[in-house]
Amino acid sequence: MDGRLRSAAVVLFSIALLFIANFGYGLAHEAAHAIVIDALGGHVSGIYVNPLGTDACTEHTAMSGTTDLVLINIAGLIMTTMLALAFTAAGQGLLAAFIALRTTIYAINYSPGTDISTIHAVAGNLSIGLSLAIVTINLACICAVAAGRRASAKLAIKRLTAGLSSSLSRARPARNN
């Protein structure tokens, strides 16, 4: 009976941690939007995160202009990417992987109403490049966690920059028509 009770406690504790991580993720993501809105001269009237952390939004005054809309909508993904990097560097693998995976999913979710779909609507194909960059960084965090390494954020950024610059500088192959 003692073993069953312990197992039940571990399961309940894990579920509670998942709810806290989900809620914290949504709150950090929306707080980043709010910070940028305030910096751009807008007014934030509220941040909503449901108790499960699966639905969240920031209520604010209307903002316009392509640059403003891109900055506001990318802020949440950048915040959670920075958190994934920080937790990876700190050796908090499970939390880092959770944040990185959730951010990766949101970076490729072009469903109407999502941050990345809004960026695509106002800035076109720029959203694809932003998605790729965010996905690459977050997958690097997941890979570092899976490899069991404590990667320093500075080293991870250096490797990512070197990889991107070498792939972007390669000559494109000739196409046959």
Interacting residues of 7 by C-beta distance below 8 A, sequence separation 6+: none
User: Which has the closest alpha carbon to 110: 122, 127, 97, 98?
Assistant: 127
Task: Kindly report whether the global pTM for this prediction surpasses the value 0.75.
Answer: yes
Ordered DSSP codes for 62-77: ---SHHHHHHHHHHHH
Q: CA 155, 160, 166 angle in degrees (round to 5)?
A: 125
Task: Please report, in tens digits, the pLDDT of each residue of the chain (177 residues total).
Answer: 588 888 888 888 888 888 899 999 999 999 999 999 999 999 999 999 998 888 899 999 998 899 999 999 999 999 999 999 999 999 888 999 999 999 999 999 999 999 999 999 999 999 999 999 999 999 999 999 998 855 555 665 566 566 655 555 555 444 444
DSSP strand E in the chain: where? 44-49, 56-60
